[in-house]
Structure 1
Amino acid sequence: MSDDRTSSRPESALDDSFERYLQDKGKGRGGDGGNYRRNAARELERFAEWAAGDRGTDDWTGFVPEDADREPNFDDLDERVFREYARHLSGDRGLKQNTVQTYYRYISAWCGWCVNEGYLEAHYAQRASAMAPLPEDDGRKPGDQQAWTSEQRHALTRHVDEQARNAIETYTTLPKDTDLIDKQRARYAALKADRDRALVFVLAYTAVRVGELLRDPNDPRRRGVRWEDLSLDDGSMDVYRKKQQWDAASLPDPVISPLRSYRQLMDPPTERWPVFPTFDQRSLAGLVQDELADQGERPEEITERRGEYARDLLLTLDEDIRPPSITTDGARSILQRLSDDAEIEINHPKHDYLAPHGGRRGMGEVLVRAFGYTVAARYLDNSEEMVRERYSHIEAGELGDVATEALESVDNIGPN
């Protein structure tokens, strides 16, 4: 099932699906990379061992009938099996509630994939009776809790800064006799690295919601910020806020230099160009073909025109064919790639990468600790009441320090 598996357990029919599932969920060529794949592979191996009777209590022999001399297969799976596994995870093993929920989600996700692929008839793992033994929700929302730590923020920004600097240097120091297509390839690589750097810095330091920054396909008002929305001299950016109105967001100093560099390299044809255009080749190819066809060019002329460029993005810049902004899902994919490339240590029950909202929440942590809830609320475009609720752990810690100081004071002046 996985390259690092050390178990001597015989292969089962379930294992055949594990590898296909992990390839679908993995990253990189062949789907053999990514934190999610590694974590899911580990939990699927544990599930397979438990199913075969190799994990759990001494009297657990697995769920294959005792008179059947074989390994588990899909015909054995039903909601009763997943209920037993939920009970196994919830047993007295010292696992936290969120950890149990996370481990079960890996198995449940595989079960859902098996339904889509035709291995199973129903998503047994999601049935209420199957999930009943899982610990009750403790009220926390893991997906809303991730906050980039200072170490993570610095690691990611250092990584994208280094990548952009290297790509730009490679492009700007090419020999004069470099082939035109090779120059275009180098420029494209520099543009992509510079875009990634600008995006990461904006998400890391502005606390702007990703839905306010990029395109939402389901909301035409959220078309992604354009260069006309930015004022780098004033350090501000107009965004369409969650409260359904345009408002100015701050661009702090760390963001200005990456945006200036990126704008200079891109040299957008007009101010109406998106700051973060899609680089998806399929989308750009269709856009270019449609636009040039509308201008009256024949198919063979379009093919010849596109052949003059290493990438369609460069043609759109020359011809002022304005591409759409990347979507919020696109930003998540970019951050997944960058988190993996930077090899950032991430320990979170839901996200195996630095998610966009984690940048906003991490900046909120910094502001609350440095300037208090009122200033943080203004910067985050939230009510002070909501900020106090979401960052209540900071106040609790500060009150703990006050209590400690009070106890020490009493102990020092009290009777011996």
Structure 2
Amino acid sequence: MPDRALSTPLDDSFERYLQDKGKGRGGDGGNYRRNAARELERFVEWAAGDRGADDWTGIVPNDADREPTFDDLDERVFREYARHLGGDRGLKQNTVQTYYRYISAWCGWCVNEGYLEAHYAQRASAMAPLPEDDGRKPGDQQAWTSEQRHALTRHVDERARDAVEAYTTLPEDTDSLDKQRRRYAALKAARDRALVFVLAYTAVRVGELLRDPNDPRRRGIRWEDLSLDDGSMDVYRKKQQWDAASLPDPVISPLRSYHQLMNPPTERWPVFPTFDQRTLAELVREELVERGVRSEVITKRRDEYARDLLLVLDEDIRPPSITTDGARSILQRLSETAEIDIDHPKHDYLAPHGGRRGMGEVLVRAFGYTVAARYLDNSEEMVRERYSHIEAGELGDVATEALSEIDG
């Protein structure tokens, strides 16, 4: 191996690696890239002695005044890092495994690129301190129960009905700004209702519905992606391709009434646009300046509207979709206002993935694993693994029945 590679600082390889693993044009997007970048930064800080126990000085020899290089790496380093991850930081077993896998994947890439002679991170001695993986994905165990689903959908439905009625029954002589405020409130309540119903009944991943700032291909579904008459919508799946997802009956009416109320300028508008005032204000200013509108005219135009959302509708200034984090914030707010009883070690609200998992429970129990796998856009093997507790419970019932017959 060339001495040049051995003397290369570790972090000099990070950008090329992340580009190779990233998504979109130039490899700049994707959750994997973001998470891998975070763990690589932690690893190089640890290697330099900035993380770990008080007496940890890093992997560079004490008599050397330089940053860590590939010449400092061997299986003992990765063994020590595995021990560091599994230390007293309160990380779950599977989280430790996940963090180590990011570093191990980078190590393998470095072998292929000529930075390292061997995949030290995958050697048995390096991995020995890692805890056993308990097979659970952190944070992905919540499932909305039928009671929770009904409580949340009933709550958002009542809020939307009240807000729409308050807007549509205003007297004709209502002040323009007051009328706009009522319309804005109705739009927000209708958007929240549509989002909750889609998450509760379609089992579509939240990342397939909304914008991911780290993946330019996930810009959030648009009205043109929906076919309410056919009961379907096109989403960009986890498997990196567009595919049709089902829109069951409970979802159609909230989406249809929301579309009618919004009346988007074009069908290319996002179904779930952001309502964030700061984002919309900046968007209005930038777009109108680009159209040649003077600053004082923009200010006067904005003063005519109670909210910038209503201005962007009238001017066809297409806003971005809410993000996946935005959806979580909405569900936190709605779970609190609905006063839903939630008993979960990680989430004190109904998280988006819980809607998908709860629908999976319903489908497996009603139609079995094969049908559920098709609806969930997963392999049957994965669905059986994820919902193995259902089969275990059913087998337990069979065993109980068998015992009762034998014992008479």
Q: TM-score, normalised by structure 1?
A: 0.67
Matches within 5 A, 1:61-140: 130-131=88-89, 138-140=134-136
SS of alignment partner, residue 140 of structure 2? helix
SS of alignment partner, residue 218 of structure 2? strand
| CA-to-aligned-CA distance 1:216-262 (integer Å, 9 cap, x gap) | 11111111000000000000000000000000000000000000010
| Matching residue of 2:185 | 189
Q: Is the 8 A contact 1:142 1:349 kept in 2?
A: no
Separation in 1, partners of 2:87, 2:387 = 35
Separation in 2, partners of 1:333, 1:282 = 16
| Matching residue of 2:337 | 341
Picking from 259, 265, 268, the partner of 2:261 is 265
| CA-to-aligned-CA distance 1:242-290 (integer Å, 9 cap, x gap) | 0000000000000000000100000000010000000000000000001
Q: Is 1:366 aligned to residue 362 of structure 2?
A: yes
| Matching residue of 1:327 | 323
Unaligned runs of 5+ in 1: 1-78, 81-125
Deviation, 1:134, is: 9.3
Unaligned runs of 5+ in 2: 1-52, 55-83, 94-130
Picking from 196, 201, 204, the partner of 2:197 is 201
Amino acid at match of 1:355: A
Deviation, 1:140, is: 3.2
Separation in 2, partners of 1:141, 1:299 = 51
Q: TM-score, normalised by structure 2?
A: 0.69
Q: Is 1:300 aligned to residue 293 of structure 2?
A: no
Q: Is the 8 A contact 1:214 1:223 kept in 2?
A: yes
| CA-to-aligned-CA distance 1:302-341 (integer Å, 9 cap, x gap) | 0000000000000010010000000000000000100111
Matches within 5 A, 1:157-168: 157-168=153-164
Q: Is the 8 A contact 1:204 1:363 kept in 2?
A: yes
SS of alignment partner, residue 217 of structure 2? strand
Q: Is 1:278 aligned to residue 274 of structure 2?
A: yes
| Matching residue of 2:245 | 249
Separation in 1, partners of 2:318, 2:283 = 9
| Matching residue of 2:347 | 351
| Matching residue of 1:57 | none
Mark the CA change 1:166 to 1:242 in structure 2 (over 3 Å): closer, same or farther. same
Separation in 1, partners of 2:394, 2:401 = 11
Deviation, 1:133, is: 12
Mark the CA change 1:397 to 1:318 in structure 2 (over 3 Å): closer, same or farther. same
Deviation, 1:130, is: 3.6
Amino acid at match of 2:373: A
Separation in 2, partners of 1:365, 1:127 = 34
SS of alignment partner, residue 324 of structure 1? coil
RMSD of aligned Cα (Å): 1.9
Separation in 2, partners of 1:264, 1:133 = 48
SS of alignment partner, residue 244 of structure 1? coil
SS of alignment partner, residue 139 of structure 2? helix
SS of alignment partner, residue 220 of structure 1? coil
Mark the CA change 1:293 to 1:344 in structure 2 (over 3 Å): closer, same or farther. same
SS of alignment partner, residue 239 of structure 1? strand
Separation in 2, partners of 1:240, 1:132 = 35
Separation in 2, partners of 1:201, 1:378 = 20
SS of alignment partner, residue 230 of structure 2? coil
| CA-to-aligned-CA distance 1:72-94 (integer Å, 9 cap, x gap) | xxxxxxx89xxxxxxxxxxxxxx
Mark the CA change 1:285 to 1:131 in structure 2 (over 3 Å): closer, same or farther. closer
Amino acid at match of 1:261: S
Q: Is the 8 A contact 1:199 1:276 kept in 2?
A: yes
Separation in 2, partners of 1:134, 1:384 = 27
Q: Is the 8 A contact 1:148 1:354 kept in 2?
A: yes
Amino acid at match of 1:346: I
Deviation, 1:411, is: 1.8
| Matching residue of 1:395 | 391
Aligned residues: 290
Q: Is the 8 A contact 1:170 1:186 kept in 2?
A: yes
Following TM superposition, the consecutive aligned residue runs of length 4 or more in structure 1 with deviations greater than 3 angstroms are 126-142
Amino acid at match of 1:234: D
SS of alignment partner, residue 247 of structure 1? strand
| Matching residue of 1:33 | none
Q: Is 1:214 aligned to residue 226 of structure 2?
A: no
Mark the CA change 1:308 to 1:134 in structure 2 (over 3 Å): closer, same or farther. closer
Q: Is 1:156 aligned to residue 152 of structure 2?
A: yes
Identity over the aligned pairs, expressed in percent? 84
Q: Is 1:313 aligned to residue 309 of structure 2?
A: yes
Q: Is the 8 A contact 1:204 1:359 kept in 2?
A: yes
Q: Is the 8 A contact 1:214 1:222 kept in 2?
A: yes
Mark the CA change 1:249 to 1:132 in structure 2 (over 3 Å): closer, same or farther. closer
Separation in 1, partners of 2:238, 2:138 = 22
Deviation, 1:405, is: 1.0
